[in-house]
Structure 1
Amino acid sequence: MVYSIAIDGPAGAGKSTIAKKIAKELGFIYVDTGAMYRAVALYLMRNQIAADESAKISQACNEVNVSIEYVDGEQQVILNGENVNGFIRTEEVGMMTSASSKNKDVRMKMVELQRQLASKTSVVMDGRDIGTYVLPNADVKVYLTASSGERARRRYVELTAKGVGCDIAEIETDIIARDHQDMTREFAPLCQAEDATLVDSSDMTIDEVVDEIIKIFNQKSNA
């Protein structure tokens, strides 16, 4: 039996961390959709294509191949044959990702690859439109969120731990701006699917969120 769990939510809600842990616990494959979009954004930045150059972005889709591989249990994001894990997690790539992912050609290419993965194996997939668009028939749909202040605090702690100088107020401003971009884009905007369960992680630990979503999955799969 092939199962799918779709986790949607705004930037900084902890979707990737949670999804990875759930996949590991259930023995599913974690599909990092955000990393796939980030790889496309990195390609655009490397080729000096701006976020508002729609035609060039659409054309670039024909030149980009993104895949996800696992080596010794570690995810590798492959962009045109190159492992780009070390380049796609910057704030600049994040902002370009939010802007470029509004392009329909970018999204259609990624969606095709993501649906292929989900049709072959049990997956946990996180992003902005998984339950609403990519996997509308997912067995479990979760909308994972947290307050903008809490999301900014988490990002601040993460960056500071890496020795990156940053300002928490600026981080929250960027998060709010990304929320607006994601929720107002024309194609497949971020929103909670009608049949998704809302999980607010503002006052929850990572393990508490993981346990809650696995409990939801067990209830649905045994129904």
Structure 2
Amino acid sequence: MPLMTSLLIAIDGPAASGKGTLARRLADYYHLPHLDTGLTYRAVAWDLLRNGQSLDDEASAIEAGRHVDLSNLDKHALSAHGVGEAASRVAVIPELRRILVDKQRDFARQPGGAVLDGRDIGTVVAPEADVKLYITASPEVRAQRRLRDIEGRGGSADVSEILADIRRRDERDMGRADSPLKPAADAHLLDTSDMSIEAAFRAARAIVDGMLAKRNGA
């Protein structure tokens, strides 16, 4: 692994593009802390759902956002498909986004660097990131991946419904007025539609290593 002093990696992309798995692999390889920023929005949605509150109740969502603890995000509980759809709905609330982005920025600024993945990391949360990756894949491929994930956890789902949900989420995430999903101008685009996770990891690692080699004068 190339010599480095600090490394901040920003990874963005739509749902089920593979960005989360890739972020975890890169964080492990470069020995960096990792934050799936989508879990912060899922934590808010989960809090509203379990307390019987409406996802359209902005005041409750904002209050829940203030209490999100980045050190205590239960990935297993928050990974349910329904929670992801709910999170996409609350994520359009501007004040909630400001609260959670502040928490995410604090995570990104820790000494030594970090890996963050989400939908507005390279554009809003950490525009100063050393490396920005935008991971994408076709909606059909992403729907199949989501189906395998659900079935792998013992669940069942209809792939056509998953595909429709992914398209709705893409439209909502890309069309929102506040911090829409889009690649940063200086992001490296990586389409994983025809890639295994290992191939995607090698491609991403080559980009990061290339930046580190250039920075180290190699």
TM-score of the aligned structures, taking structure 1 as reference length? 0.89
Where has structure 1 moved over 4 Å in runs of 4 or more? none
What is the identity, as a one-letter code, of the residue corresponding to 2:17? Answer: A
Listed as ranges, the gaps of 5+ residues in structure 1 are 69-75, 78-83
1:119-130 residue pairs with structure 2 within 5 A? Answer: 119-120=109-110, 121-130=112-121
1:111 maps onto 2:101 in alignment? yes
Query: What is the rounded CA distance, in whole Å, between the counterparts of 1:207 and 1:109 in structure 2?
Result: 35
Q: Which residue of 1 aligns with 2:78?
A: 88
CA contact 1:141–1:196 (8 Å) conserved in 2: yes
1:17 maps onto 2:30 in alignment? no
Q: CA deviation at 1:111?
A: 1.3
Q: Which residue of 1 aligns with 2:60?
A: 56
Query: What is the rounded CA distance, in whole Å, between the counterparts of 1:172 and 1:190 in structure 2?
Result: 18
C-alpha distance after superposition, 1:159-210 (max 9, x if no partner): 1222212111111010000001100111100001110011000000101111
When structure 1 is superposed on structure 2, of 125-134 and 96-105 the one drifting more is 96-105
Query: What is the rounded CA distance, in whole Å, between the counterparts of 1:122 and 1:61 in structure 2?
Result: 24
What is the identity, as a one-letter code, of the residue corresponding to 2:57? Answer: E
Name the SS for the 2:76 alignment partner.
Answer: coil
C-alpha distance after superposition, 1:9-57 (max 9, x if no partner): 0001011111001110111111121112211111111222222222332
Q: Which residue of 2 aligns with 1:201?
A: 192
Q: Which residue of 2 aligns with 1:65?
A: 68
Give aligned-pair identity as a percent: 38
Q: Which residue of 2 aligns with 1:28?
A: 32
What is the identity, as a one-letter code, of the residue corresponding to 1:102? Answer: V
CA contact 1:18–1:209 (8 Å) conserved in 2: yes
Listed as ranges, the gaps of 5+ residues in structure 2 are none
Query: What is the rounded CA distance, in whole Å, between the counterparts of 1:166 and 1:151 in structure 2?
Result: 14
CA contact 2:40–2:68 (8 Å) conserved in 1: no
Question: What RMSD over aligned residues (CA atoms) do the two structures have, in Å?
Answer: 1.4
Q: CA deviation at 1:149?
A: 0.3
